[in-house]
Chain A
């Protein structure tokens, strides 16, 4: 059963505009959420995370929002740059070591 869902397999955005990636989860015990970025032929790299005690975390151009009541989180990238073109995975944990990943969203930033 897929506990973390990314319902948009792809997203295309103009350079300089905002990219919004969405993620839904079903397990109410998840208390830590992460976003990973993956380029082709490379392993995923950590991007940003958020604890369930917060509803927002910001790091430069990247902001993650958490809505616990809706079991929904989103990643905002502002402004989008060509180097942001990659696959983005949402992940969640309830036990401090095991991550449940979504299927990923492929972002393409158009020049």
Chain B
């Protein structure tokens, strides 16, 4: 489809494992965002890319979290040595605008991570 695609939709990891979550934004969208949504909470900002440049990573909870968008299109969020508190839905969003908050963000369906 033409929307933001995320994979996997569901991931179960044992504590200590590394995981990688993928986001395919809408073609041509320059801005890409990652948000983390814990159960019963609203999404919380993790990081922002403008093309391949990571302009803001202030929301990443720890140095175990790493995001990249090497060619300015597909992005990967990697979590090393997963902990139970990392269990959440990870949402990717894209925008055709250089920033994006003052316009519509297009969200993917999310990747639900459960750490046992």
Are A97 and B43 touching (Cβ within 8 A)? no
Are A44 and B99 touching (Cβ within 8 A)? no
**B62 at interface, CB cutoff 8 A:** no
**A99 at interface, CB cutoff 8 A:** yes
Task: Tell me the minimal C-beta distance from B95 to chain A in angstroms.
Answer: 8
Residues of B within 8 Å of A, CB-based: how many?
A: 27
**A89 at interface, CB cutoff 8 A:** yes
Are A99 and B107 touching (Cβ within 8 A)? no
Please tell me which one of the listed residues A36, A44, A101 contacts residue B44 in the complex, with CB atoms under 8 A apart: A101
Contact residues in A for B93 (Cβ distance below 8 Å): 43
A88 to B81, CA, bound (A): 33
Contact residues in A for B18 (Cβ distance below 8 Å): none
A91 to B107, CA, bound (A): 14
Chain B residues within CB distance 8 Å of chain A: 4, 31, 33, 35, 40-45, 48, 55-56, 59, 91, 93, 99-102, 104-110
